[in-house]
Amino acid sequence: MPHVFPLLLLAIGLFLPTAVHAAETPKPNVVMILSDDQGWGDLSVHGNKNLATPNIDQLAKEGALFENFYVCHLCAPTRAEMLTGRFFGRTGVRGVSTGQERLNLDEKTIAQYFKEAGYATGAFGKWHNGMQFPYHPNARGFDEYYGFCSGHWGHYFSPELDHNNQLVRGDGYITDDFTNRAMQFIEDNQDKPFFCYVPYCTPHSPMQVPGQYFDKFAEMDPEMKNRDPQKEQLGMTRAALAMCENIDWNVGRILKKLDQLDLADNTIVIYFADNGPNSFRWNGDMKGRKGSLDEGGTRVPCIVRWPGHIPADRKIDSIAGAVDLLPTLLDFAGISAKYPKPIDGISLKGMLTSGDVPTGERYMIASRGNQVSVRNQTYRLDSKGQLFDITKDRGQRNNVAKEHPQVQAKLQEVAKQYRSEMLPNQDKRPFTVGYTQNTPLPARDGNGHGGIERSARAPNCSYFTNWKSKDGTVTWDVEVGEAGEYEAIVYYTCPPENVGVEIQAQLLGQKTAATIKEAHNPESYGPERDRFDRGSESPVKDFKPFSLGTLTLPKGRDTLTLSALKIPGEGAIEVRYVWLNKK
């Protein structure tokens, strides 16, 4: 079936990127800041009196504020749409963990376009679109990467992080640390055009934030509460608001750095969020939160500033979304893109600079499994088929389907077409090995058998535990892309009574084994720093690397299996990663 949505959304070729006509015009820099689980209502510029976000508010006063900006209901899908300009259902992203967050390798990212145009490219924060090369950010157009590739992280104070595919120790509170790295990247590249992507991981849980931010909220009874106050957990709200104020402070630091380097006038700054709030708190009377397909789960802040090009204090009512950011930024940068696949977004350049309004009808679509919600400029068709006039009923309280049956039918047809074109099949992609020197295989991407369990229900920052017998195994579905010798390194913990356990790695008919001779039994940590209970998320431990030996591997797909050949004590080991490193 032919793709219809690019035609609907592009509406006869609106706002296509244009080439640079004046060679002397300097290429604009781009700083894109993305917050994680911050709702539309988590900014004082949107009327929330519970907190103050003066730097983000000032950014809106100096640029354009979108009143109707839409993203997906969860993190990885929104990132995929921003990176590609395409609805996430087209891109291979199917979920948020166990490999379902990966962006297909035939998708071209915004960073690749900018890199090809001569930009320095860097990303500092939560990636969440694949960890192993060639899914890793360094393989998707980013020269520099510092952060974590998972959907969430278990500790926010000097945690283990990824710097260009190497494990390193972070430095201080995670949002401050990402900001430090981003500012250093900006300073290092001040004499050439740069694309700097700063995907913060807050206010996503765990709800950890320094006391200098939390103390203000520790006993706060919020003046403004969720539309269903009985659902609001005040402890969660307090922590989230503190984290949002910390984000604002860090946004201010980035803006100040641009001023200090005399780069502000030639730098496009974008600030937006990846989905609705991660708890029931004030969100402008909208229905739903993170995970919901309603207004509250998908309408988020979006601010764009470029002094001298985008008029100050502009309010934009037209619907727009994450899919529009790629074509918009390429258009602003004068990068004439030849898209390898049809995109679903449009350039918003005319809208931002001149107040242009698209002439064709647009649809913003949110989906979760077979559930689909469709938003046009006036109405929202929810996942149950109810119709709401959002211009009069942002809270989705009055179903007007009977009054507007033609509108309902039209949006239902759009949803039906979306289902037929967009929804993914079961994810059968293996995890890739050998596409760069070192390949990590974290516990979240594997499976435990024979009583072996994850350390928590949420896979993303978990490890394997409860390995009690030789019946237990840990497996990963992998594909080796290059034949050669690989050192198998397991990141383990082992109490003294289990020393002597022999662990084997087996893949593609090759085996190697070694005996654990040194105890490593650190305490878990993380929850003691939480401002609110983390629920299904794992604590963390500091795991130790141990070489199991060398595997001489052909190319091919197989199951990597960890097993215990000898268990002299009461159990085996806990496992955080296996790394397969080319020798």
Q: Distance between CA 430 and CA 273 in Å, rounded?
A: 30
Question: What tens digit of pLDDT does each residue of 444-453 get?
Answer: 999 999 999 9
Does 84 have pLDDT greater than 60? yes
Q: Is the pLDDT of residue 467 over 70?
A: yes
Q: What is the mean pLDDT of residues 480-488?
A: 99
| Residue 335 forms part of a structural domain | no
Distance of CA 567 to the CA centre of its chain: 40
Query: How confident is the model at residue 18, as a pLDDT?
Result: 41
Q: Please state, rounded to an integer, the average pLDDT across all residues of the chain.
A: 95
* pLDDT range class, residue 414, cuts 50, 70, 90: very high
Question: Would you say 523 and 449 are in contact if contact means Cβ atoms under 8 Å apart?
Answer: no
- In this structure, are 395 and 263 located in the same domain? no
Is residue 12 a part of any domain in this protein? no
Identify the band that residue 425 occupies on the pLDDT scale cut at 50, 70 and 90.
Answer: low
How sure is the predictor about 1, in pLDDT bands with cuts at 50, 70 and 90?
very low
Same domain for 50 and 185? yes
DSSP-assigned letter for residue 417: H
Q: Please give the full DSSP string across 452-465, using - where no structure is assigned.
A: -EESSSS-TT--EE
Instruction: Over range 466-472, report the average pLDDT.
Output: 98
Yes or no: say if 539 and 525 are a contact pair by the CB < 8 Å rule.
yes
DSSP 228-270: SGGG--HHHHHHHHHHHHHHHHHHHHHHHHHHHTT-GGGEEEE
Per-residue confidence (pLDDT) for residue 423, from 0 to 100: 64
Shared-domain flag, residues 36 and 142: yes
User: Looking at the domain assignment, is residue 167 inside a domain?
Assistant: yes
Structural domains counted in the chain: 3
Instruction: Show the tokens assigned to 224.
Output: 């403004």
Which residues span the domain enclosing 526?
431-582
Q: Does one domain contain both 272 and 198?
A: yes
* pLDDT score of 463 more than 70: yes
Asked if 123 and 169 sit in the same domain, the reply is yes
Residues 156 and 296 in one domain: yes
Q: Let me know: does 78 contact 272? Beta carbons within 8 Å.
A: no
**Residue 327, domain member (yes or no):** no
Q: Is 15 a member of any domain?
A: no
336 is a domain residue:
no
What confidence category does residue 7 fall into, taking pLDDT thresholds of 50, 70 and 90? very low
Model confidence pLDDT, tens digit, residues 113-165: 999 999 999 999 999 999 999 999 999 999 999 999 999 999 999 999 999 99
Asked whether the predicted pLDDT for residue 204 surpasses 60, the reply is yes
**pLDDT band for position 14 (cuts 50, 70, 90):** very low
Any idea what the CATH number is for the domain that residue 274 is in?
3.40.720.10
User: In three state form, how does the secondary structure of 39-75 look?
Assistant: CCCCCHHHCCCCCCCHHHHHHHHHCEEECCEECCCCH
